[in-house]
Structure 1
């Protein structure tokens, strides 16, 4: 499944708000912080494939 590409927009408690960058969308996707790499920060670029996230920029 995927890949889908995201940018980290903000942190909200135990969740991170992600915005898709591979399609035009202003919709935010909340994802549990525990599912994401620990090194992420606002502005990090992520790739999601088979529901595994990796930092790409």
Structure 2
């Protein structure tokens, strides 16, 4: 399985916009907050692996 790294760019209600940090990309990924750790805020770094997001 692959591992991807993200940073939380913004939070909008029940969703968060994530930007990949392990590759050059300006694209944002919209993710439901229910899938993310509860204590995230803007600037939080995340790792996505085995279909789970965890804080770094």
TM-score band, normalised by shorter chain:
over 0.9
Counterpart of 1:9 in structure 2 is: 9
| CA root-mean-square deviation | 0.7
Tell me the SS of whatever aligns to 1:9: strand
TM-score (structure 1 length as normaliser): 0.93
Deviating above 6 A after TM superposition, structure 1's stretches of 4 or more consecutive aligned residues are none
Equivalence map 1:1-57=2 (5 Å): 1-56=1-56
| In structure 2, distance between residues paired with 1:17 and 1:34 | 13
2 CA distance for matches of 1:48 and 1:24?
17
Provide, for residues 22-49 of structure 1, a one-character-per-residue CA deviation record: whole Å limited to 9, x for no partner: 0000000000000000011100000000
Listed as ranges, the gaps of 5+ residues in structure 1 are: none
How many correspondences in the alignment?
Answer: 56
Query: Could you list the runs of 5+ residues in structure 2 that have no partner in the other structure?
Result: none
Q: Residue 37 of structure 2 aligns to a residue in which SS?
A: coil
